[in-house]
Structure formats: structure tokens, C-alpha cells
Amino acid sequence: MVDRFSFAEHGVTHAPGSAVAAMDPWFPPRNASGTTTNASPIADLTPEDFGADPTGAADSTSALQAWVDELAAASVASSLFSGCGKSKSPAGTYKLSAPIQVPLCFGLELDFKYATLLQTGNNMPILEYTGITSHQFAVRRAVFKYATQQTPASPHSIALAFNGGVGSGGFYNWEAGQLYFQNCYRGIGQYDTTIVNPLWGFDIHHVTWDQSNTGACIKIEQTAAGQPRCSLRHLYMSGQANTTEELISMSAVDSLHMTDIEFIQYHRRVMLLGNVATSTLSGIRTEAGSLTTAFEGLICLQNGNYSISDLRTYNHTGGNNTILLRLINSGYVMVDVWEGDNITPSGATLWAVGGDNTGRLSVRRPQLTGPTAMVQVGLETAGVLDRWGQSVFIPTKAGIPTDADFAVVQDGQLCLDKTNSRLYVRNGGWHYAALT
């Protein structure tokens, strides 16, 4: 999204008294002679102008709501960018007792200058977008914090929530950046997943979730594929203690781009992507975490084509038959550069790649180190392994393989049963890699 604070900054000027000037929220109202009649354009309004207390002593819910309503109404009236709402007190605290609801808006940019939005209520959002068909809006530089720890028992404690209600339309071309989330159940997501309004063209970037959050950091569920141009970049998620939700869960996205995402001290699957037509992931790092549920994938990719580069896995402990990268009904999956160290199974086998009904898989330049009990690849039949490392050859035979079929046998060997189209791996004996 373009940082746009005034038309004048971009070389655009309007004749005093013109209709365009009257609609320009940055253009101070002037009379026909050019004299300024109001030196404070709407974009310069601050929460303090409506009585907000930046010290956090008094409740500022009504004041912030009035501030947002004023800016949103101006954005709709002008049908142009309404500018950036500003806080006079960087790093201040606004105490809330109810969600701040953002109605229909066009181009509304809320910049809190790193102020803390402290929600004292429970089971409710902090900032809630309610105006469906809103577009070109942004929220930046804010700390979203609940006064008390929210849990899955408070499912509506979604700090930055989208709640369009019943009706058509969604939220288009929006941005959330330079945010910090604390004591949340969920960070960013829909308020009511049974009434889903599409989120299109979003850019979520430079966001941190600390160890106090108990649910998904981002959970965006769509009803159908086709939500285009979505981007997640420069995200840091640390120490989530939840055991019920993925840290990132997204579905039905037409094109998704993820760059520089870190998951630190996780305790279950960190990412679930489904029904993604085309997705590119770069710079995905997981470190100092564990996975215990058998056949669960640390990263799970479903129903789409995925291109992954610079995947890093460090200090990971996996339970028996857990999987680092799980593929389900995927089309083409390409992994280029996969580095990992100290990958340790707590049971007999830990899989690097596993899944079912995958079209084609290519893994280039893998450098994964761990005990010999870690099996590199296990794919159920519909999958075709194009490459593991620089080159790979998978022998075939009719029927279940046995040691007698090979001159030399060792754990980790693969063999394809061409009669039943099933892939087998040797680990003490020959086992069908059925990871369903």
C-alpha cells in the first residue's frame, strides 16, 4: 500500500474552491480567495482530540471509537484516501473495555505510533473491521494486548478481527504491519468463521507474536478459492503453548506469497495451507520446537502447487512417525535448499517428507542431519518423487519388496510396487509408507 499523507507531497495541487479540493481530505478548506478556513485537515485528528487518555489511567474506548468513526465517515464521503489517523503520544497506552469497530471505509490508514491498545474485556476483539466492501485500508504500528490471558475458552478474543456479518462482499486490498500481539487467543482472523467474508489482496508484514498467545497467530478461512494477491512477510512467532491450532492456517487463496517467517519454540504443527492455487514460500525457519502426534506434519500443504526455497529446520524433536513436511492432495511441490540440524526423533522414525496423493515432488539440495532413525522420504502411491538431492533412482518391482530383491540393503532405501503403485521404505524391514 502506498504511504499517502497528502496529495501535495505527490505533486498534485487543486484550485482553491474546486470540487476536487473540497473532496481532498488533506486539502485544508479554503474560500474563493485562497484563504485557509480550517488549518487542521481531517487526517490530523488524533484520539486525544476526542478525549482519549494516552496514560492508560482512564477508559478511552468511546474516544477511540469516535476518532475512528470520524475518519471512516470522511473516507466514505470523499471516496478517496482519508489519510492517516495519528496518535500524539507514541508508546502511550489506551485502555479499552469494548472492541473498537471500524465501519465501512475507503483508504483509511490508522497509525498508532506504537501505542498499546489494552483490552480489559474478555472474549472480544481489540480492533474489529465491520464494514464489508471496505478497501485500501491499513493498520500500523500498534501493540495489541489483553489485560488478562485469553484462551480457547474465549473464541472471540481475536485481536485484529474481521466481522462483516451476513451479506455479500468482503475486505479488499488491506495492510497490517509493524504490530505486536500479546495475551491473545488469536492474533488476526475472522470473528465468526460460520459467516465468512473474503479477505482479498492483503499484506501482513513485520508482526511479532510472543509466547503469551494461545491460539493461531493468523487464521483466515475462505469459503472458496480465488482470493488473490495475498502476502505474509517478516513474521516472528515465539513460544506458543497452544496444542489445538496451527500458528498459521489459511485456505482458499488464489496466490499466496510468504517470505521470512520464523517459528520458535513451537509445540505442534506450525502451518496449514489448503486449497492454495499457487504459493511461494521463502525463508521459512522452524527452531527449538517439538511435534508429538503421529503422522502430523510440522508444515502441512494441501490441495495446491507449492514452491519452497530456503527452508530451515533446527533443533527439532519429533515423536514417532511425525513428519517435517506433509503433503496432502498437492499438485507439484518443489523444495530448493532445505537445511536442518539436530533433528531428533523421540520414537523409532521421524520422516522428512510424507503424505498421500501428491502429484510430483522435487527436493533439491537437502542438508538434513540427525540420527539414522530419520527416514528421508515416504510418499504414498499417487506421489512421484522426481528428485531427492542431486539425483535419485527408485527401483520398482511387481509386488511387495523384500531384501532378496537387492544385492545390497540398508535402511532408507525406497522401492515402488508398480503393481499396486505403492512406495515402500526399508527401516529394519520393508514398510508401506502409508501416512494417512
User: Could you say which DSSP state residue 10 is in?
Assistant: G
Burial code (b: 16+ CB inside 10 Å, e: under 16) for 144-175 equals: bbbeeebbeebebbbbbbbbbeeeeebbbbbb
Q: What is the mean pLDDT of residues 399-411?
A: 82
CA–CA separation, 310 and 336 (whole Å): 7
- Of 67-76, 253-262, 426-435, give the lowest mean pLDDT range: 426-435
Closest CA to 363 of 324, 412, 321, 308: 308
**How many C-beta neighbours within 10 Å does residue 250 have?**
26
Q: Could you tell me the CA-to-CA distances from 52 to 11, 60, 61, 109, 306 in Å, in that order? A: 34, 5, 8, 19, 47
Overall pTM surpassing 0.85 (yes/no):
no
Angular region, 344: left φ>0, alpha ψ -120 to 50, beta rest: beta
pLDDT band of 383, cuts 50, 70, 90:
low
Instruction: Give phi and psi for 376, each to the nearest 5.
Output: -75, -45
Q: What is the mean pLDDT of the chain?
A: 77
Give the span between the Cα atoms of 20 and 278, in whole angstroms. 41
331 pLDDT above the threshold of 70: yes
Tens-digit pLDDT profile for residues 143-158: 999 999 898 888 889 9
Nine cell digits for residue 216: 493461531
pLDDT score at 374: 57
Residue 317 has pLDDT above 50, yes or no: yes
- The closest of 226, 211, 215 to 189, measured between CA atoms, is 215
Q: Compute the average pLDDT of residues 114-119.
A: 95
Cα gap 166→412, rounded to integer Å: 53
Rounded to whole angstroms, the Cα distance separating 190 from 80 reads 26
Q: What are the pLDDT digits (tens) for 35-93? A: 333 333 566 788 998 999 999 999 999 999 999 998 888 888 765 544 566 666 667 99
pLDDT band of 190, cuts 50, 70, 90: confident
- How high is the pLDDT of residue 271? 92
Ranges of beta strands (E only) in 147-229 are 158-162, 171-172, 175-182, 186-190, 199-200, 203-209, 218-220
Mean pLDDT value of segment 230-258: 83
Amino acid at 11: G
pLDDT reading at 419 higher than 70: yes
Average pLDDT over residues 187-196: 75
Predicted pLDDT at 26: 33
pLDDT exceeds cutoff 90 at 430: no
Whether the pLDDT of residue 403 is over 50: the answer is yes
One-letter identity of residue 20: V
Match 503433503 to its residue by C-alpha cell. 327
pLDDT over threshold 80, residue 420: no
**CB-based contact 199:171 (threshold 8 Å):** yes
DSSP string for residues in 342-358: EEEESSS-EEEEEEES-
DSSP state of 21: H
- 153: Cβ contacts below 8 Å, ≥ 6 apart: none
